[in-house]
């Protein structure tokens, strides 16, 4: 199981397939807060999204690996209030 203190600011978040999903802004309780903007990968969101710690499979090679591949990672994302992200 991944511990919150294993996760560092600006770590790359990748799907189980190794495809880039985002970057860590910081930990917020038991969730990873993702950066809003990631110029290298064309992300320019108007607000932050979150990933529950339970959906993180591992921290390896300086990357945060998700339990789902990148194509399905949007289903893991949450809004600040914990509700699912709509329309990604």
Q: Consecutive 10-residue runs of the chain (88 residues): their mean pLDDT? A: 92 95 94 84 74 96 95 91 85
Cα–Cα distances in angstroms (integers) from residue 55 to residues 39, 40, 46, 64, 82, in the given order:
24, 24, 23, 10, 14
pLDDT value for 51: 95
**Domain CATH for 12:** 2.30.30.240
Contacts of 86 (CB under 8 A, 6+ apart): none
- Asked whether residue 31 is assigned to any structural domain, the reply reads yes
pLDDT value for 41: 53
- Asked whether residue 84 is assigned to any structural domain, the reply reads no
- Asked whether residue 82 is assigned to any structural domain, the reply reads no
Range of the domain at 52: 4-76
| Other residues' Cβ atoms within 10 Å of the Cβ of residue 25 | 17
| Other residues' Cβ atoms within 10 Å of the Cβ of residue 65 | 19
pLDDT value for 15: 95
pLDDT value for 57: 97
């Amino acid at each position: 199981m991944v511990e919150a203190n294993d996760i560092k600011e600006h770590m790359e978040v990748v799907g189980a397939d190794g495809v880039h999903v985002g970057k860590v802004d910081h930990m917020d309780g038991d969730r990873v807060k993702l950066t809003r903007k990631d110029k290298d990968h064309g992300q320019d969101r108007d607000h932050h999204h979150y990933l529950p710690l339970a959906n993180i499979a591992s921290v390896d090679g300086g990357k945060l690996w998700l339990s789902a591949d990148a194509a399905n990672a949007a289903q893991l994302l949450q809004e600040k209030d914990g509700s699912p992200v709509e329309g990604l």
